[in-house]
Structure 1
Amino acid sequence: MIEQPTPDHRRAQRIAKASLGVGLGLFAVWLSATFIPALLWAAIIAIAIDPLYARAESRWPAGRRVWLPTIATLLIALLVLAPLTIGVVEAAREARTLLHWLADARANGLAEPEWVSKLPFANEISGWWQDNLATPEGTALQWDRVRGSFLDGNSELVGRNLLHRSVVFTFTLVALFFLLRERDGFIAQLQIAGKRMFGDSGDRIGTQLVRSVRGTIDGLVLVGIGEGAVMAVFYLIAGVPHPLLLGLLTAVAAMIPFGAAVLFAIAALMLVGQGAVGWAIAIIIIGLVVVGIADHFVRPYLIGGSTRLPFLWVLIGILGGVESLGLLGLFVGPAVMAMLILLWRDYIAGANRIAETPTAAVN
Structure 2
Amino acid sequence: MDENRTRNDERIDTAKSTLPAIETRITDFVRLGIVGLFAYWSLTLVAPFAIIAIWAAILTVALYPAYARLRLMLGGRGRLAALIITLLNLGIIIGPLAAIVFGSAEAAQVLFTRFKDGGITVPLPAESVRHWPLVGERLYASWVLASSNLDALIKQLEPSLLHVGSSAVGIIASIGIGLLSFVASVIVAGFLFQPGPRIGNVIMTFADRIAGQRGLGFVKMTTSTIRNVARGVIGVALIQTFLCAIVLHIFAVPLPGLIAFAVLILCIVQIGPAPVLLPLAIWGWSALDTGSALALTLLLVPIGLIDNIMKPILVARGLSTPMLVILIGVLGGTLSYGLIGLFLGPIVLSVFYDLLLVWLRAGSETQQQGPTA
Q: CA RMSD in A?
A: 4.2
Name which of structure 1's ranges 223-232 and 329-338 shifts more when overlaid on structure 2: 223-232
After superposition, what is the alpha-carbon deviation per residue over 1:45-68, rounded to whole angstroms, capped at 9, x for unaligned?
10111112223445667644x544
1:110, 1:139 within 8 Å by CA — same for their partners in 2?
A: no
Residue 48 of structure 2 aligns with which residue? 34
- Once the 2 structures are TM-superposed, how far is the Cα of residue 24 of structure 1 from its aligned partner? 3.4
Deviation per CA, 1:200-226: give whole Å up to 9, x if none: 112210111111111111121122123
Q: 1:58 and 1:282 mapped to 2: Cα distance?
A: 43
Partners of 2:238 and 2:264 within 8 A in 1: yes
* Residues 103 and 257 in structure 2, CA contact (< 8 A), matched pair in contact too: no
Write the deviation string for residues 270-311 of structure 1: whole angstroms up to 9, x where unpaired. Answer: 45774889998997898677545524x432332234544444
Question: Aligned-pair distance for 1:195?
Answer: 0.6
Q: What is aligned with 1:349?
A: 361
Distance 1:214 1:33 in 2: 25
Give the secondary structure class of the aligned counterpart of 1:111: coil
Partner of 2:271: 258
- For residues 185-196 of structure 1, what are the structure 2 equivalents within 5 Å? 185-196=198-209
Of 333, 339, 345 in structure 1, the residue corresponding to residue 351 of structure 2 is 339
Counterpart pick for 2:330 among 300, 314, 318: 318
Q: 2:234: which partner in 1?
A: 221
Distance change (3 Å), C-alpha of 1:325 and 1:98: same
Q: What aligned pairs does 1:16-165 form with structure 2 within 5 A after superposition?
A: 21-58=35-72, 63-64=77-78, 66-104=79-117, 109-111=121-123, 128=140, 131-137=144-150, 140-141=154-155, 144=158, 147-155=161-169, 157-158=170-171, 160-161=173-174, 164-165=177-178
Relative to the length of structure 1, the TM-score reads 0.76
Partner Cα separation in structure 2 for residue 166 and residue 237 of structure 1:
29
Task: State whether residues 228 and 250 of structure 1, in contact with CA within 8 Å, keep that contact through their aligned partners in structure 2.
Answer: yes
Cα distance, 1:71 vs. partner?
3.8
Q: Which runs of 5+ in 2 are unaligned?
A: 1-19
Judge conservation of contact 2:284–2:296 (CA < 8 Å) in 1. Answer: no
| 1:324 positional shift | 3.0
User: How many residues are paired up?
Assistant: 347
Secondary structure of the residue aligned to 1:258 is coil
1:72-95 Cα deviation digits (max 9, x unpaired): 333322232122222222223322
Q: How far apart, CA to CA, are the structure 2 residues paired with 1:19 and 1:355?
A: 41
Are the counterparts in 2 of residues 209 and 335 from structure 1 also a CA contact under 8 Å?
A: yes
Q: Is the 8 A contact 2:281 2:297 kept in 1?
A: yes
Match of 2:10 in 1: none
CA distance in 2: counterparts of 1:35 and 1:314, whole angstroms? 27
The one-letter code of the counterpart of 1:53 is: Y
Percent of paired sites with the same residue: 19
The 1:350–1:168 alpha-carbon spacing in structure 2 relative to 1, beyond 3 Å, is same
TM-score under structure 2 length normalisation: 0.74
**1:291/1:10 Cα in 2 relative to 1: closer, same or farther (>3 Å)?**
farther
Change (3 A) 1:9 1:349: farther
Q: Which moved more, 1:169-178 or 1:187-196?
A: 169-178
